Structure formats: structure tokens, C-alpha cells
Amino acid sequence: MTTGTTTVAAYAAPAAKAPLERTTIERRAVGEFDVLIDIKFAGICHSDIHQAREGWGEAIFPMVPGHEIAGVVSEVGPGVTKFAVGDRVGVGCMVDSCRECDNCKAGLEQYCTGGGMTGTYNALDKNGEPTYGGYSQKIVVDENYVVRIPDGLALDVAAPLLCAGITTYSPLKHWNAGPGKKVAIVGMGGLGHMGVKIAHALGAEVTVLSQSLRKKDDGLKLGADHYYATSDPETFTKLAGTFDLILSTVSAPLSLDAYLSLLKTDGAFVNVGAPEEPVALNLFSVIGGRKTLAGSGIGGIQETQEMLDFCAEHGFGAEIELIGATEINEAYERVLGSDVRYRFVIDTATI
């Protein structure tokens, strides 16, 4: 068992809006219930960019982003029962929560009301130390916030499932996407492409609503049954009253009224993308047809495990572009320009 902290190579943003650069960080000593993970791959999530550039408010610097982590356990604390050295594991958006509130007890740790979940990075842990994410070579995490990556799933394509996968899986399950249901996925990016794969695997009839038809071939290949451009006003007339569920994955503000008009009676529009500014809504858009406007954030630990098992069973991970650490800043620009198919994943051996 390690007694001291471990010095680890990482990529960090030294200040808001500054380019990321190579540095070293200290990981805490492996505690009784901790596992030390050799990180192999880390996905780049759009929210890494929001946070590294302080788009979501004041942040902690230096910041090592990354909450789509896949790796292998290399050491366990004496009290660890769920994992052993050599296990293939993942860490998503949280590394702790209060464990005592109703939500934590119900497996909804992401909605912890006892002080909130502890983010994998850009947060303070129980000892008041800043957390550092996956753009690094090792991480120490309490075993209760670690999930198992099934054997059938390669680690590189599994990494993005830890955020993009669970963020779409959780609402699709909650709002009963499945056989006989018409589901629309808004946006065909990192989240959206996972939404398409998962909704299709759940048995729903899937429609992609994307700004243009640029990624139509990919969408159909990944499991969509239909694909429409939202830049074409006819899409909204043609599809009025069509969907049981619309899952919006975009972080640009949308015309909610227009999208709500695409729902059937009792349909739900669920937002998992997070625009930086408030959006306008005419409440008549939900009154007529008893519609639901909702949101959803990632998923709990147990549900994350269920999602990984589901993806492995159906034989898919994310569509990725594997990059080296020196390409991170360029990748950020490309994510902002929607120029990635469909998730950048960092090979952390290059850090």
C-alpha cells in the first residue's frame, strides 16, 4: 500500500482560457477504500471546455479536466472489496457524494442533496483538496465511485460512455424509450451519437434532428431510422405531433416552442445539453397536449454500470478519434466547431 502521495503527469489549464499544458499533480495516498487506477484513455467532453474557459462560472485552477476515464486498477486499499489489481474500470463525472441523503441511497448520487456530488475535477474533495480529472496518467478514487468495464468493450471506445453514454442512457430509460416509441435525438455530436445508438438498441424508432444533413449517413449507420435538418422550416411542419420523447443534446439555445410542437400529447422534451444563457418559453407550448419539459444530468453509479453492461451486450462503444496529449488544444477548437466524429479520446500514454 502506498503511504504517500504519487506524482503524476497531467495536462492542465493553468488559468481560465489559457491553453492546456503538460504539468505534474499529486494524487492522494491510496486510502482504505480507494483504488489506484492507471488511466489508459480519457475522453474530451464539451463540458471540459466550458469549465476550462469558465463558461459555467468561477472555476479552480490549475484545472486537469476529464471525466470520461477508462483504465486498469493497479493498487487497492485494504478495505476494497469490489475491485482487484488488473480490473478494467471506469470513472465518470463524480468521485464522491454524501452517501446519506435520500438521493444517494436511491442510487441518484448525481443529485446528492447532502452538499452535492464531488466532481471528478474542478471541485473540492472532503479534505478541501481540489480534484483533478482524467487528462493524467493515474487517479485515486473511492471504490464506490468506480465502475467495471465489461470485457467485450475496448477501453478507448468505452471512455466516452462514462459521460456521453450515461447522460443519454439515463433519460432514455427514465422516459421509457423502447419498442413502439418514437424518439428524436437533437444534435449529432458526442452526446447525440450515443443517444442514437442507445435509443436504437433499446428498440425505439429513432429520428435525428440536426442542423444540417452533413452527418446523415453516419446517423443512419449508427441506428437512426430518419434524419432531418432543423435548418429547414418544413421539418417542423412535417414532424408536428410526432414524438413520444425528444432528447436534446445541444448546448446552443433552441426555440423550445418549436421543438415542443413536435411532441405527441403527453410527450416529453428532455434537455441534457446546457446552454450558458437562459432560454425563452411560451408556457402554452406545454399546456396544450399536457407536455413535459424536463432535464436530466448524467446518471447514478449503479445505472452507469448498467449502461456499460448494456453497451457491451449490444456490442458498441463510442465512435472516437484517438489523439495524443499535444493535440488537446487543437481538439478543443475542433469540438467548438463541431468538427469531430464523434468524441476525441486522449491516449494518456502520450502525456
97 binds Zn ion, rule: CB under 5 A: yes
Q: What is the nearest approach in angstroms of Zn ion to the Cβ of residue 43?
A: 8
Q: Which stretch binds Zn ion (CB under 5 A): 45-53, 76-84, 129-137, 227-235?
A: 45-53
CB of 141 to Zn ion, least distance (A): 16
If one asks whether residue 49 binds Zn ion (CB under 5 A), the answer comes out as no
CA dist 302 and 133 (Å) reads 21
Among 114, 150, 152, 297, binds Zn ion (CB under 5 A): 114
**Residue 107, SS3 per DSSP:** coil
Q: Is the peptide bond before 121 cis (omega within 30 degrees of 0)?
A: no
Q: Which residue of 112, 196, 199, 245 would you call a contact of Zn ion, by CB under 5 A?
A: 112
101, 154, 258, 294: which one binds Zn ion (CB under 5 A): 101
The β-bridge relationship of strands 292-295 and 205-210 is: unpaired
Note whether 42 binds Zn ion by CB under 5 A.
no
Which position among 63, 89, 155, 163 is part of the footprint of Zn ion (CB under 5 A)? 163
Which range of residues in 20-28, 105-113, 216-224, 320-328 is near Zn ion by CB under 5 A?
A: 105-113
Q: What are phi and psi of 305, to 5 degrees?
A: -65, -45
Contact call for residue 168 and Zn ion (CB under 5 A): no
Per CB under 5 A, the segment of 21-29, 90-98, 206-214, 325-333 that binds Zn ion is 90-98
The Cβ-side half-sphere exposure at 253, using a 13 Å CA radius, reads 8
Rounded to whole angstroms, the Cα distance separating 95 from 66 reads 12
Q: How far apart are CA 12 and CA 135, in angstroms?
A: 8
Task: Kindly state whether residue 246 participates in binding Zn ion, applying the rule CB under 5 A.
Answer: no
What are the distances in angstroms from CA 286 to CA 175, 267, 270, 277?
A: 17, 9, 13, 21
- The single residue among 41, 47, 133, 200 that binds Zn ion, judged by CB under 5 A, is 47
Choose between 117 and 239: whose C-beta lies nearer to Zn ion.
117
170 in contact with Zn ion (CB under 5 A): no
C-alpha dist (Å) from residue 245 to 5, 54, 58, 320:
47, 32, 34, 27
The DSSP letter of residue 125 is -
Instruction: Give me the least distance between CB of 11 and Zn ion, in Å please.
Output: 16
**CB closer to Zn ion out of 196 and 239:** 196
Name which of 125, 43, 130 is nearest 92 in CA terms. 43
Residues making contact with Zn ion (CB under 5 A): 45, 47, 97-98, 101, 104, 112, 114, 163
